[in-house]
Structure 1
Amino acid sequence: MLTVSIMLATLMQTLDSTIANVALPHMQGSLSASQDEITWVLTSYIVAAAIATPLTGWLSDRLTVKRLLTISVVGFTIASALCGLSETVAQIVLSRLLQGVFGAALVPLSQSILLDVNPREKQGQAMAVWGMGVMVGPIIGPTLGGWLTESYSWRWVFFINLPIGVLALAGVAAFLPAKEPKRGIAFDTFGFATLALAIGALQAMLDRGEQLDWFGSKEIVIEALLASVSFAFFVVHTATAGKVSFFKRELLRDPNFAVGTFFIFVVGAVLYATRALIPPMLQNLMGYPVATAGLVTAPSGAGTMVAMLLAGKLLRRVDARLILLAGMSISALALWQMMHYTIVLSPSDIVWPGVVQGFGLGLVFVPLSTLTFSTLTAELRADGTATYSLMRNIGSSIGISIVQTLLTRYTQVSHANLAAHVTVFDPTVQSMLASSSRLGMAILDQGITQQSAMIAYVDDFKLMFVATLVAIPLLVLIRSPHAPSPGDVASHAAID
């Protein structure tokens, strides 16, 4: 029951990372907002969650895990209701900020709790259950959001969190053991302020860069400078602050945790970038309705769920690094299939590569989570899970920003290259221009634009394919889990 309650809270938060995307046009009309204003509905949530995530470790020590999780679930549920009741852009942006602040701790806390309440031999299965909420939520979010928006209203994209939040709160209150808070914990204000400013500026830059033409905009330049300078101050401060440091340097001394956080960065970039590319490709190039686009992309979530259940059982018998290798290889295979997409695709051409990629990512996520925390002491888990979640989110933001930017540029370059080979001496072009010059030119330009956009999508898939292959050799840096440490034994004894 505790696992179910925790996963409800996790699913609620991960769904909201993508469920509102498809409802933005409806929100824009209902709230009389401009395009620039309505994007802050997404940006405010992402930035607030990114800034608040690093606080999870300190707050869990100061308040205890149960109190912090209770506050987070209650705050997130109330903020969701406020989002659904909003009548102006300012109200919904403020409500989304609250959602991000309260929801930031849900994912890292859920992972930390499941690692604590399960002995080492069952942690693989626990990570499989946790991974379902984290990985499947963002995948089914757009499909569920599109259905709720079309069938009811965009407000139900937020109201759906209310029953989930109530059930999660009841379960946490009833089944999560209470502990005594740690007293006398110093807070590194300067360290947190510099890290929060760096993360907030980076997320804002990544989210708005494509709209504002990147460094052609003063806003993006200012955000880039803020992120760079703040992060430099944070690194220097952390290296010289001694024991009173916001970021626990012991995390980086654990090779498994350091390599694992890099891998989750890559997984976040590849997964979310692919999810960001496929729906607009289907709708803009191939004329798929929103609902149909959601239906053909949703089966990838089924592949992920099956793989996670399988990986949770295999971890007892097979070296986790071999499962991780298989998952990375299968994910690369799916991207290789996507590299061969053309402008003419059947639904099965979309479904099966998505299922293959979902299956591969499911095999990656479970052993990766298990190996990353297998050598980390129980005292560092709350901070470790917060850092782990933060790197996944930053990876997804960077991945989406890169592929969207390159998509625009690749389309322009491909259009110029294709147009250069179109001449009036070509018999096909002559036949198109024979009846009506303007109509023929418009049809020809539309065809060139579609083909150039398809080439750009394929080039993006190639980039992600290469990034996945480059990350595979780093598996040699991960060590096999050792026997349970005294900290783990003490942790389980205290829970029991």
Structure 2
Amino acid sequence: MTGALQDSVPGPGPDSLSPAGNGGAPPLLRGARLALLTFALSLATFIEMLDSTVTNVAVPSIAGSLGVANSQATWVISSYSVSAAIAVPLTGWLSARVGEARLFIVSVLLFTLTSIMCAVAPNLELLVFFRSLQGLSSGPMVPLSQTILLRAFPPQKRVFALALWAMTVLLAPILGPVFGGWIIDRFSWPWIFFINLPIGIFAFLVCVSLLRRERAPARRPRIDVPGIVLLVVGVGSLQAVLDLGREYSWFDSSLIVTLAVVAALSLSALLIWESAESQPVIDLSLFRDRTFTFGVAITSLGMMAFSVIGVIFPLWLQTVMGYTAMQAGMASAPLGILAFVFSLLIGIYLKKLDARMVTTFGFLVFAAVLWWNAHFTLTMSFWQIVTPRLIQGIGLPCFFIPLTAAIVSRVPDHKLAAASGLSNFLRTVSAAFGTALSITWWDSRAAFHYGTLRQSVTQASDGTNLFVQSVHDAGLATGPLPVIREVVQQQSYMMATNDLFYMASIVCVGLAATMWLTRPARVSGVNAGH
């Protein structure tokens, strides 16, 4: 069985969105209007995905500006991710009540407004709160942009439309550190949010113009209130455990224990409730399909590993290697060069290929590059760091695009919205968990290596005596001990970074093997569902 994609795609149903149309069979947009809509949808998706990573290089700047630790500053990243994850499963229900285009337009507007609020936040508490609101408003933007874009294109062009959408989703997180680094070096961290204003206004105006004639929904489903409450409480409590655990000494704190118990009880109750609910916010019956289950698990674990590296890589460059935010962004950017090229190739030729084979190749490329990265040293040059990032770009679209198609290949048409929402929810939550745990793992491994290395720093060590003599010869006023301590600490964090690269490499090998437990069906095309 293959995960091939053919060019014939089912058309939208009777209640589906048709841009700028009316009546029973409204016409599709063509020419300049279709190009303008595609550009606006891509920009809206771009800024949403950009904001999920643009803050990665801003963590040291935000921490220094607001007077908090780096681990606390990462709440700005994880609060956004978790809020977006909570909002994603609600997209199907909300769009059924207010319409897909209306929901998308409102989401873009709210996202733009909350971006301004983040920029003017005077302290970490308000910044995290506004980032949470921004995440809630951004949740529907990615799945709805995919839906609207697919339905705007004629059936024979929808595979290409999916490739365009995937390029935006893939390239925005890659370019985020570059834009973020440039803005922080030239201006200050609030401007990483101010830049959303002109883009958001443009996308809002174009979508209002071209999508304003959307047909009103024929029916309005009821909301699963208990399911949503349990989802918010459970995921929110779990994220709080991950964010606050390090600061409060984990389970030595009664607060962390309480939050962990609340998370466990809420999520357990959620699973029980949703399994018996007739209109659940999370459709657990989807997990009866082996391909969907393993596909979602692969995506979630992959995103968790990538988010860990995505946070640690620029932080390592800035705090250990002495790079500026702009330099760290430039070192991350080459990932997007080959990713852009291969996104186009995968979009064109995926229908002729086995999705499992392409996905496996993508993960193995990642594994090889991460293994390469795990041998980095403190004396690495900029180009030695950049080269593996360039090659890594080959693997990104090779796993993301076919895996996205494989996940829904056996899902019935009437469950496509639920399947996409659930897979995006788990992917986003996993990325948020990886972000929250990244600094803890990094600091923990660094502390372990520091304890090991300092045992070898003794008066009997020839290396120590040679280093002390070189410090004296250099005439450093601080003396040898502070210099030795700094060198040992720097080396400890380098070794901790290598440990995380090793871990991510092994995870990618495991995911490549797990992909062959799936059985993606040969589908007739790309469905225009969420």
Normalising to structure 2: TM-score of the pair? 0.84
Residue 41 of structure 1 and its aligned partner are, at CA, apart by 4.3
Query: In the alignment, is residue 478 of structure 1 matched against residue 514 of structure 2?
Result: no
Aligned CA distance change for structure 1 residues 154 and 422 (closer, same or farther; 3 Å): closer
Unpaired runs of 5+ residues, structure 2, are 1-34
Residue 94 of structure 1 and its aligned partner are, at CA, apart by 4.3
SS at structure 2 position matched to 1:386: helix
SS at structure 1 position matched to 2:320: helix
1:227 corresponds, among 263, 269, 288, to 263
CA deviation digits over 1:341-374, x for unaligned, max 9?
Answer: 1221011221121122222122111111122223
- Alignment coverage as a number of residue pairs: 487
Q: Give the aligned partner of residue 195 of structure 1.
A: 231
8 Å contact kept, 1:124–1:367:
no
SS at structure 2 position matched to 1:252: helix
Aligned CA distance change for structure 1 residues 313 and 34 (closer, same or farther; 3 Å): same
Cα distance in 2 for partners of 1:473, 1:43 equals 29
8 Å contact kept, 2:60–2:315:
no
Aligned CA distance change for structure 1 residues 401 and 250 (closer, same or farther; 3 Å): same
Cα distance in 1 for partners of 2:73, 2:381 equals 34
Q: Give the aligned partner of residue 27 of structure 2.
A: none
8 Å contact kept, 1:339–1:462:
yes
Cα distance in 2 for partners of 1:131, 1:421 equals 50
Cα distance in 2 for partners of 1:105, 1:33 equals 33
8 Å contact kept, 2:57–2:315:
no
SS at structure 2 position matched to 1:340: coil
- Looking at both structures, which has the greater relative contact order when contacts are Cα pairs under 8 Å and sequence separation is at least 6? 2
Q: Give the aligned partner of residue 349 of structure 2.
A: 314
Cα distance in 2 for partners of 1:132, 1:453 equals 33
Q: Give the aligned partner of residue 364 of structure 1.
A: 399
Query: In the alignment, is residue 284 of structure 1 matched against residue 324 of structure 2?
Result: no
Q: Give the aligned partner of residue 274 of structure 2.
A: 238
Cα distance in 2 for partners of 1:69, 1:263 equals 28
Cα distance in 2 for partners of 1:475, 1:25 equals 37
Q: Give the aligned partner of residue 219 of structure 2.
A: 183
8 Å contact kept, 2:362–2:394:
yes
Q: Give the aligned partner of residue 97 of structure 1.
A: 132
1:460 corresponds, among 477, 500, 517, to 500
- Report the aligned-residue RMSD: 2.8
Cα distance in 2 for partners of 1:477, 1:33 equals 48
1:109 corresponds, among 130, 133, 144, to 144
8 Å contact kept, 1:321–1:475:
yes
Q: Give the aligned partner of residue 450 of structure 1.
A: 490
1:165 corresponds, among 169, 182, 200, to 200
Cα distance in 1 for partners of 2:190, 2:275 equals 46
Matches within 5 A, 1:24-35: 34-35=68-69
Query: In the alignment, is residue 208 of structure 1 matched against residue 244 of structure 2?
Result: yes
SS at structure 2 position matched to 1:247: coil
Report the residue type matching 1:375 in the other structure.
R
Unpaired runs of 5+ residues, structure 1, are none
Cα distance in 2 for partners of 1:428, 1:196 equals 55
1:249 corresponds, among 271, 275, 284, to 284
Matches within 5 A, 1:27-426: 34-35=68-69, 41-86=76-121, 92-117=127-152, 122-176=157-211, 178-241=214-277, 243-426=278-461
CA deviation digits over 1:15-68, x for unaligned, max 9?
Answer: 1122234445655676x6655986654454334323222211111111121111
Which region of structure 1 is more displaced relative to structure 2, 58-67 or 176-185? Answer: 176-185
Cα distance in 2 for partners of 1:447, 1:83 equals 37
Query: In the alignment, is residue 6 of structure 1 matched against residue 41 of structure 2?
Result: yes
Which region of structure 1 is more displaced relative to structure 2, 436-445 or 304-313? Answer: 436-445
Residue 332 of structure 1 and its aligned partner are, at CA, apart by 0.8
Q: Give the aligned partner of residue 429 of structure 1.
A: 464
CA deviation digits over 1:430-465, x for unaligned, max 9?
Answer: 344458698222222322222222221111111111
SS at structure 1 position matched to 2:408: helix
Aligned CA distance change for structure 1 residues 233 and 182 (closer, same or farther; 3 Å): farther
Aligned CA distance change for structure 1 residues 25 and 400 (closer, same or farther; 3 Å): closer
Aligned CA distance change for structure 1 residues 406 and 184 (closer, same or farther; 3 Å): closer
8 Å contact kept, 1:339–1:459:
yes
Report the residue type matching 2:398 in the other structure.
L
8 Å contact kept, 2:177–2:332:
no
Aligned CA distance change for structure 1 residues 182 and 247 (closer, same or farther; 3 Å): farther
Cα distance in 1 for partners of 2:445, 2:61 equals 30
Cα distance in 2 for partners of 1:438, 1:33 equals 26
8 Å contact kept, 2:359–2:402:
yes
8 Å contact kept, 2:375–2:498:
yes
Q: Give the aligned partner of residue 18 of structure 2.
A: none
Which region of structure 1 is more displaced relative to structure 2, 418-427 or 337-346? Answer: 418-427
Percent identity reads 33
Which region of structure 1 is more displaced relative to structure 2, 14-23 or 3-12? Answer: 14-23
SS at structure 2 position matched to 1:178: coil
Which region of structure 1 is more displaced relative to structure 2, 66-75 or 91-100? Answer: 91-100
Residue 234 of structure 1 and its aligned partner are, at CA, apart by 0.5
Higher helix share: 1
Residue 334 of structure 1 and its aligned partner are, at CA, apart by 0.7
Aligned CA distance change for structure 1 residues 274 and 50 (closer, same or farther; 3 Å): same
Aligned CA distance change for structure 1 residues 181 and 72 (closer, same or farther; 3 Å): same
